[in-house]
Chains A and B, each alone.
Chain A
Amino acid sequence: MSYIHELDDDKESATQRIAETIKEARDAETIEKKLMSLSTAMHLLTDPNVSNNTLDNFLTEMLEFAELNDCQIICLIIDFLLKASAKDFTICNKTVERYSFFLIPNNQIDRYQSVIKRVVVASTNLYPIVLEYAIQDKNDKAEQCWEAFNLLKSRICMLVDNDHEGVRTVTVKFLEALILCQSPKPKELAADPKSTWSIEANTRFHKISLTDVPRSHRFLSYHKAQLEAEENFSALLKQTSLTGITSQNLIAVIESLCLITRCRPQWENALPRVFDVIKALHSNVPPMLSKGQVKFLRKSFKYNLLRFLKLPASVPLQQKITTMLTDYLGASPREVNQSIPQELIQRAAPRPPPSMEPAAKRAKMHNQMFDDEDDEEAPSGSLRDARSQAIDMTAKFIFERLTHENVLDLVKISLFTLPTEMPAAFASSYTPIANAGSESNRRELSELMAVQWVNKEIGVGYEWLQEKKKKEYAAKNKARSEGIAIAPTPLHEPIKSKVPAPKEKVPEIKAPVIKKAKAFNLIEETEKITAEEAADMFEMAFESVLHAERRVVAGGAKLVYQKLVVRLATRFWEDCSPYEEKLVNFVLKDHKRRSDLALLWLCELYAQYQGYSNCALRIKEEIENQTGMTQAQRLQRYDQAMCRILDSMLERKMEKEPLFYKILLETPLLTPNATERLKNACLAKENEHGMSMLRELILTRNRQRPQLLQFLFGLCFLERADLRNSCLDTVKEICNLPFIRSSLSDQARLQIQDCLEDRPPMYMRQKPEEIEWTDEMYKNSLAVYAILLPTDPLLLIPLASVYAAGTNVLKRVILRTLEPVYRQLSQEMVITLIEDCPHGAETLLARLVVLLAERITPSVELIQKLKIIHEERKMDIRALLPILGGLEREEVYRLIPTFIFKTEYQKSVHLLFRKLYTVRDPTSGELVFDPVDIIKQYHRIEPKDDKEAELLVKNLEFLFESTLLKPDSASQAIEAIFRWENVPFLFLHSLYRLHQTFKTFDSFVANLFYKVTEKKMYQQSDRWKQAFYACIKELKTKAYPAVLTLVTYEEYEELKAILGDEVIPDFKAIYSTLSTLQQKTMDEKIKEELYDKEREARERDRRLRREERKEKEKERGSRR
């Protein structure tokens, strides 16, 4: 097929092709076209080259077509599901579910019978698949599938007496599959697959059988499966005795029985039983059959009996079968001999004809192969079909009475009742009887008549049968209650009351009637039972109610059942704990199905605790009279029940099962103890499940949300980073839900409030003995807060309050830990804090403002409010630093001295200038403060004392910060200051500071220094003088020329004393570079001191030598 080749090319094109085909089917206008496309889609999807994923992806789309309500399409879907299940076992669940649905008769769809037939045929094929799936038992789905299939199976078994002939026929084939799959396959078949027997037994069900089911299988019961097969085999055998059976059904049953016999000849004594059935049918062919049908039936018997001869198990019956074939079914001896395989012939040949048993025994002795058959003959009596036994009994009864007189009478009567036309069955098998009147003939005649007697429900055999059936009926009911699917007994089977009782039994029936004379007295008859007996009986009753679940569910009374169980377990006795224990165990055995029961139980206990459950009078009275348990005790009982079931689940490691979750989530009240059980799940290594349960609980349990949140937060304090992270993840997840938000925030507020306690609360301690606060505890308690804070403005003020009241450690932790969070806060949030800042939290506020100003330019409102609070609270002025740009210039200038002179602010001076030099107007983008002005302002500051003067000088370093200040501005400012009327002493300090900062200012600085020296400004005050000396010391050679030429000798001496003698060589060097004019203006004494005589002599000598050399050269030149 071309599409198969296409599939090999690539998977994508396959998927595309399938999608196209399904689309075609959807778009097609007629059912025929839809069928065509769907058929192609089915072949494509179930192709081995197509992945199971693809199949799964298109499954739903395919199934949707069933909604078209066309029987042909549904048939196609049924086939598709079968093929899909064979390809991928996991689809079986879906298939069984759909099949169960399709099996429901639907009159609205034309020819719906064909759908039912198709379901039965497909289920027959599905049988080995589902069985294999169940045997593999890879997951829970396999068990569910098997259970669902069992239900389907029992429904199909019911169809064996359906009105529709075709349905009955296919149901017979289904039973055949059931029997073959659920009976053990003989070892010999597996051992030699090429033997004659194996060839005869080769069916489509040979691959899997009960032998493949391990005895220890989790949910497949070997015994139950076998029992089910046995019951159905018997039911199938009984089908053949139905008087009204149609030819078609009869053939189907016979063929199925023969097929089963070929595959399982020794199982359930199948071969002799089926042979008996054939024999009985042959002698009593159903009267409805036509000539052709009888002919074919005989043909079928012959054909199947010949095939039986090939089975090793047929050896003991060989003689009987051969006789039947040759004497009654028209087979030639040659035909018969050809059918018996060589190895079986030799054993059959020497057998003496009269008696079967010795021959059989001899055969066993000869052939080891039949060793297993030791019991074969013995149980045949008990195992053989009861009906056959009944016939035998009646036959014996008749045989004993078949005297000449009786026979003669019978013939006379018959002559009047003979039909005008010979019945087909009789005509086809009618042969003149050679041995009439002989014992064998009489025996045969007795058998023939016995069959008719039993059919007409008369004779000793039938009576015996009736008794037996009563017993069987009871046994079968028991088996059914255990969940075994058994095809219904043929219609004529149920015991009827019209049976004429044999005469000799009449007195027996009358006997009890006489006893009726004594009136029945209830009081006399009843005896009081002891409390113990009553308890025992109650216990038994309780157990039997519990275990009736399956039948109850099938009957649709599940809720009533659950109510009954719960009432018995909770209301009946004072102390119900033994029953509760039983109930818990019962629920946990199949917790998936019984979760409702568990919940109902807990709800009842809750209702009792609250006093709602007043149905039981005893409890009602107790509550009214306050005699029984108090409400607290009833709550405790509820709590214990809940914990009992949770604990049992934890013990069995079932905490991931839905029931655990349901109990926590769906019970009316979650007790603190139950929350502790949840903790176990949350503390587990893989705690996703626990955490998700907790999250769900927080989301759904309104009333208990605070406790649950407290519990969640508490988990953050345990020494496990992963747990903390998963808690915080949960918080992050739920904090976005509006209805959780407020509780979450409240809880978070309460938690940080706890940080103000003297001792850490218990939930924060990792060990109970930890009574001192640690950084870790503080940090952990802020973790949740950190998540909530950025989005909840209302959380800031509580934090500030805690900060204000907290210890220094807490303050530090709050400042540091939450810093990343503070960076996310909006301006509005900071403003709200400014407005309502608790006393003591100003430092926190200041920090927030700083962090805010780093990111954005503070708004006018913020600046205003901060200024106000600053003034009101006398806050640290550093808080104003971030908002300097928003303050009045005068204000800022007033602030400068404070920063400069206060020791505690010294560290912030550089920040002040950095801010002053860089802050820009948000609208124009220009600098708010002119650097020149700032420098000037600085120089206007008047120090009050020496210390202040010193600080003023020291902080010049930050005033002239090279990275922030442009040289132009600096020079401009200095020049302006120099022109002032009163130049401050600081000027000289600034000069050398400038020189240090800007190296290019050499001449500018030297020049100004010269002017200062020239004007003798340094003589104004001591500070000036100090500044002068400091400046000289720093400027060195840049200052020396001015000093040497302009100072007096006294001043020079003073300077020398300060600077030390080591400056003299420098002075001398400078002196020599001075111009003559300058040297002349110098103080003579200084000049003298600096004048270097030796050097002058040296220079003079050098000059003289040079002149001499020149003269000599001149002379030489003239000579030439």
Chain B
Amino acid sequence: MEYSSKIRFAVSCSSNMNRSMEAHSILKKRGFNIESYGSGTQVKIPGPSIDKPNCYEFGPTTYEDIYSDLVKKDHQYYLGSGLLNMVDRNRRIKTRPQRFQSETREFDVVLCLEERVFDQVVDFLNRRVGTSGNPVHVINIDIEDNPEEATVGAFFVGNLCDKLEKCHDFEEEIDQIITDLEETNPKKNLLHTICFY
């Protein structure tokens, strides 16, 4: 709801498959108001070789479709690589991968899990013709794109969200929180900016 006292979080990686979904899963369990997105042009997941990824279109494709496609292509291989489990988890969280650039809802904080994603999100927010003029904080946290790092990263994101949520007014304190985190986690490439809807 638009007038909730909770902060409206969005988390975005490139394909809305691994990192953002892991964060979505954990943050949802912790009771945050959260949505997840991908900012790339298409949903891209590893294929049989590095130059043959599986690509799907954002929008019409559901996690269900991806799951059946992977099962059809090579059930055993994708089960072994853990991809099927990931898609299976995803389909239990929401129906389909969503592209950040297609979303019209407004958020208070958008968490980007890779600098390229951060650039895309900021570029999108800066180029769109403004609507409400409400401010949105865009934060970058670098997380490597593999299941293990995704889980660790999701906890890091969870802690950040927790700190923000506990603030009396997060806009006042966000600067300090991020600077503090930056000091303790120099490799996370923490970036922060403010954009306007």
Partner of B182, one of A205, A246, A292: A292
Judging by beta carbons under 8 Å apart, are B129 and A203 in contact?
Answer: yes
B123 touches A292 (CB 8 A): no
The answer to whether B130 and A204 touch across the interface, beta carbons within 8 angstroms, is yes
B194 adjacent to A121 (CB under 8 Å): no
Is the CB of B192 closer than 8 A to any CB of chain A?
A: yes
Let me know if B133 is at the binding interface, CB within 8 A.
yes
Which of B3, B130, B135, B175 lies in contact with A247, CB distance below 8 A? B175
| B159 within 8 Å of A (CB atoms) | no
Q: Which residues of A contact B2 (CB under 8 A)?
A: 39
**A117 cross-chain contacts in B, Cβ below 8 A:** 171
B121 to chain A, nearest CB (A): 13
When the two chains form the complex, which single residue of A166, A246, A293 contacts B135, counting CB atoms closer than 8 Å?
A166
Assess whether B193 is in contact with A296, with CB atoms less than 8 Å apart: yes
Which residues of B from 1 to 32 have beta carbons under 8 Å from A?
Answer: 1-5
**Chain B residues whose C-beta falls within 8 Å of the C-beta of A72 in the assembled complex:** 3-5
B residues less than 8 Å from A468 (CB atoms)? none
Chain A residues with CB under 8 A of B175 = 165, 246-248
A1107 to B105, CA, bound (A): 139
User: What is the minimal beta-carbon distance from B2 to any residue of chain A, in angstroms?
Assistant: 7
> Are B131 and A204 in contact, CB atoms less than 8 angstroms apart?
yes
Instruction: Give Cα distance in the complex from A248 to B134, angstroms.
Output: 14
Given contacts A251-B194, A291-B182, A292-B191, contact A169 B135 (CB under 8 A): yes
Counting CB contacts under 8 A, is B172 at the interface?
yes
A170 at the interface (CB under 8 A from B): yes
Please give the distance in Å from B169's CB to the nearest CB on chain A. 6
A318 interfacial contact with B, CB 8 Å = no
Interface status of A362 (Cβ within 8 A of chain B): no
User: In this assembly, does A388 line the interface, its C-beta being within 8 Å of a C-beta of chain B?
Assistant: no
How many residues does chain B have at the interface if contact means C-beta atoms less than 8 Å apart? 35
Measured CB to CB, the closest approach of chain A to B161, in angstroms, equals 18
B169 touches A111 (CB 8 A): yes
Query: Which residues of chain A from 9 to 35 have a CB within 8 Å of any chain B CB?
Result: 32, 35
**Is A995 in contact with chain B by the CB < 8 A criterion?**
no
Interface SS majority for chain A: helix
User: A35 and B1: CB pair below 8 A?
Assistant: yes
Report the minimal beta-carbon distance from A245 to chain B, rounded to whole angstroms.
11
Docked-complex contact B130 and A203, CB < 8 angstroms: yes
Q: Does B92 contact A (CB under 8 A)?
A: no
Which A residues lie within 8 Å of B157 (CB)? none
Which A residue sits closest to B126, measured CB to CB?
A255
B132: Cβ under 8 A from any A Cβ: yes
With both beta carbons as reference points, the residue of chain A lying nearest to B195 in the complex is identified as A255
Closest A residue to B183 by CB, please name it: A290
- B169 near A114: Cβ-Cβ < 8 Å: yes
Are A165 and B191 in contact, CB atoms less than 8 angstroms apart?
Answer: no
With known contacts A248-B175, A290-B182, A296-B191, A202–B133 Cβ distance under 8 A: no
Closest to A124 in B: B133
Tell me if A173 counts as interface (CB < 8 A to partner B): yes
Bound Cα distance A893, B174 (Å):
117
Query: In the complex the two chains form, is B194's CB within 8 Å of A75's CB?
Result: no
Residues of chain B with a CB closer than 8 A to A32's CB: 1, 4
CA distance A1102 to B191 in the complex (A): 158
A111 partner residues in chain B, CB cutoff 8 A? 168-169
A164 lies within 8 A of B172 (CB): yes
* Distance in angstroms between the alpha carbons of A35 and B6 in the assembled complex: 14
A121-B132 CB under 8 A given contacts A111-B168, A246-B175, A248-B175: yes
CA gap between A246 and B5 in the complex, in Å: 26
Given A36-B1, A202-B129, A290-B179, A169 contacting B193 (CB threshold 8 A): no
A101 proximal to B (CB < 8 A): no
Residues of B within 8 A of A75 (CB): 3
Contact yes or no, A248 B129, CB < 8 A: no
Q: A121 to chain B: which residues have CB within 8 Å?
A: 132-135
How many Å lie between the Cα of A274 and that of B140 in the bound state?
A: 27
CB pair B193 A300 closer than 8 Å? yes
> Do A165 and B192 form a contact, CB below 8 Å, given A125-B133, A255-B126?
no
Q: Digit string of B165-183 for contact with A (CB within 8 Å is 1, else 0)? A: 0001101101100110011
Complex Cα distance A273/B119, Å? 26
Residues of chain A lying within 8 A (CB to CB) of residue B191: 292, 295-296, 299
Partner of A292, one of B131, B168, B192: B192
One of B1, B168, B189, B194 near A39 (C-beta < 8 A) = B1
Does A572 reach chain B (CB closer than 8 Å)?
no
Q: Does A113 count as interface, using CB distance less than 8 angstroms?
A: yes
Q: Which residues of B contact A296 (CB under 8 A)?
A: 191-193
Over the window 108-135 of chain B, the binary record of Cβ atoms lying under 8 Å from chain A Cβ atoms (1 yes, 0 no) is 0000000000010011001001111111
Cβ-based interface call for B190 (8 A):
yes
CB-contact partner of B172 in A165, A203, A204, A290, under 8 A: A165
A612 contacts the other chain (Cβ, under 8 Å)? no
- Is B196 among interface residues, defined by CB-CB distance under 8 A? yes
Q: Does A252 contact B (CB under 8 A)?
A: yes
State whether A204 touches B133 (Cβ < 8 A).
yes
Q: Cα distance A764–B158 when bound, in Å? A: 94
Closest residue of chain B to A291 (Cβ to Cβ) is: B182
* Distance in Å: Cβ of B110 to nearest Cβ of chain A: 14
| Contact between A247 and B192, CB atoms less than 8 A apart | yes
Minimum C-beta distance from B7 to chain A (A): 12
In A116-175, the 8 Å CB interface with B consists of 117, 121, 124-125, 164-166, 169-170, 173
Does A303 touch B at the CB level, under 8 Å?
yes
Chain B residues within an 8 Å CB radius of A255:
126, 195
Q: Which residue of A lies closest to B138 (CB)?
A: A296
Measured in the bound complex, the distance between the Cα atoms of B174 and A173 in whole Å is: 19
- Distance in Å from the Cβ of B173 to the closest Cβ of chain A? 9
Separation of A299 and B121 alpha carbons in the complex (Å): 13
Interface residues of B in 48-77 (CB under 8 A from A): none
In the bound assembly, the distance between CA atoms of A177 and B178 in angstroms comes to 29
Known: A166-B171, A291-B182, A292-B182. A173 touches B192 (CB 8 A): no
> Is A252 a contact of B194 with CB atoms below 8 Å?
yes
Q: How many Å lie between the Cα of A117 and that of B108 in the bound state?
A: 13
Nearest chain A CB to B106's CB is how many angstroms away? 11
Q: Which of A803-820 contact B (CB under 8 A)?
A: none
A39–B172 touching, CB < 8 Å: no
Inter-chain contact A113/B169, CB cutoff 8 Å = yes
Within 8 A of B (CB), among A286-323: 290-293, 295-296, 299-300, 303
Q: Known interface pairs A75-B3, A292-B190, A292-B191. Does A173 touch B133 (Cβ–Cβ under 8 Å)?
A: yes
Give min CB distance, A933 to chain B, whole Å: 99
Chain A residue at minimum C-beta to C-beta distance from B169: A113
A residues less than 8 Å from B174 (CB atoms):
248
Q: Quote the shortest CB–CB distance from B58 to chain A (angstroms).
A: 23
Bound together, the chains give a CA A170 to CA B130 distance in angstroms of 14
| A76 in the interface (beta carbon within 8 A) | yes
- Shortest Cβ distance from B123 into A: residue: A303
Alpha-carbon separation in the docked complex, A372 to B194 (Å): 36
Determine the residue in chain B with the shortest Cβ distance to A204.
Answer: B130
Q: A39-B1, A248-B192 are in contact. List 15 more A-B contacts (CB 8 A).
A: A35-B3, A39-B2, A72-B3, A75-B3, A111-B169, A113-B169, A121-B132, A164-B169, A169-B171, A204-B129, A204-B130, A248-B193, A251-B194, A292-B182, A292-B189
**30 A-B contact pairs sorted by A residue (CB < 8 Å):** A32-B1, A32-B4, A39-B3, A72-B5, A73-B3, A75-B3, A111-B169, A117-B171, A121-B132, A125-B132, A164-B169, A164-B171, A165-B175, A166-B135, A169-B194, A173-B196, A202-B129, A204-B131, A248-B174, A248-B193, A290-B178, A290-B183, A292-B179, A292-B190, A293-B192, A296-B191, A296-B193, A299-B119, A299-B191, A300-B193
Question: What is the interface of chain B, defined by CB distance below 8 A to chain A?
Answer: 1-5, 119, 122-123, 126, 129-135, 168-169, 171-172, 174-175, 178-179, 182-183, 186, 189-196
A contact set with B: CB distance below 8 Å: 32, 35-36, 39, 72-73, 75-76, 111, 113-114, 117, 121, 124-125, 164-166, 169-170, 173, 177, 202-206, 246-248, 251-252, 255, 290-293, 295-296, 299-300, 303
10 closest A-B pairs (Cβ-Cβ)?
A166-B171, A204-B130, A35-B3, A290-B179, A292-B190, A72-B3, A296-B191, A124-B133, A292-B182, A121-B133
